Amino acid sequence: MEPRRVVLVCFLAIMAGILLTACDSPQPPSHLSSSPPTGTTPAATPTPVENWRYSESNDEMSGKKVSLACTDAPEGARLCLQRRGDRIDSFISFDSVGSGQFLCLEDDCSTKARFDDGQVIRFGGTEAAGGETTTLFIEPTSNLVSRLRRAKTLKLQPPLYENAGEVLHFDVSGLKW
């Protein structure tokens, strides 16, 4: 056999022996392991998903703190609570006209709501100023907030343009307001 072939065959035999030894051992050699040995690191617990996003800012004109809590529905709508000083507002909004629009007929902007498996109740509504059709304010906010604090789910049926009867589904559990 040619000397280079002998060296190559010996090298391959040695490597195969190392790999077989590593495969037969109950734990991989430390230089081949990418995870720490069992028992040295506690198991990671999944981080709970927050349903609500919170933000704070200052109103430039009044200097008052403005707090906002929002959660999203899979249908593309956003439900927000806004505290500006002592005043609390609640509203549903869509990012754009193409995502959804509200249509109040003859000053009726009522919205049906169902918290968890409770009875359907009605909230009043007000269109946003200036003819904006992607935001609808819900009234009375105090009633909405007190129910949101106790609920896990909320189904809303607001007056939607071209989608009358559509229900928006919100996971409202965990509100810290």
Q: Tell me the pairing of strands 111-115 and 65-72.
A: unpaired
In a domain? residue 127 = yes
Tens of pLDDT, residue by residue over 50-74, are 889 999 999 898 888 999 999 999 9
Judgement on whether residues 76 and 151 belong to the same structural domain of the protein: yes
pLDDT at position 37 is: 43
- Are 19 and 80 found together in one domain? no
CB burial string 89-124: b at 16+ within 10 A, e below: ebbbbbeeeeebbbebeeeebebebbbeeeeeeebe
Task: Look at residue 70 and tell me if it is in a domain.
Answer: yes
**C-beta atoms surrounding 22 within 10 Å:** 13
Burial class (CB in 10 A: 0-12, 13-18, 19+), 154: buried
User: How far are the Cα atoms of 47, 49, 94, 135, 160 from residue 98, in angstroms, in the given order?
Assistant: 34, 28, 9, 13, 12
Q: What is the mean pLDDT of residues 82-91?
A: 91
Residues 31 and 60 grouped into a single domain: no
In terms of domains, do 74 and 108 share one? yes
Same domain, 87 and 151: yes
CA 165, 168, 173, 177 torsion: positive or negative? negative
In a domain, 44, yes or no: no
Q: Is the pTM of this model over 0.75?
A: no
The Cα-based distances of 29 to 12, 13, 16, 88 in angstroms read: 20, 19, 15, 62
Distances 109 to 29, 123, 127, 134 between C-alpha atoms, Å: 69, 9, 7, 13
User: Does residue 34 sit in the same domain as residue 104?
Assistant: no
Domain residues for 112? 53-171
Cα 80 from Cα 134, distance rounded (Å): 13
- The CATH number linked to 163 is 2.60.40
Q: Report if residue 86 sits inside a domain.
A: yes
Give 84's strand partners. 66, 87
For residue range 20-60, list pLDDT tens digits in order.
333 344 443 333 333 444 444 455 554 455 889 999 999 89
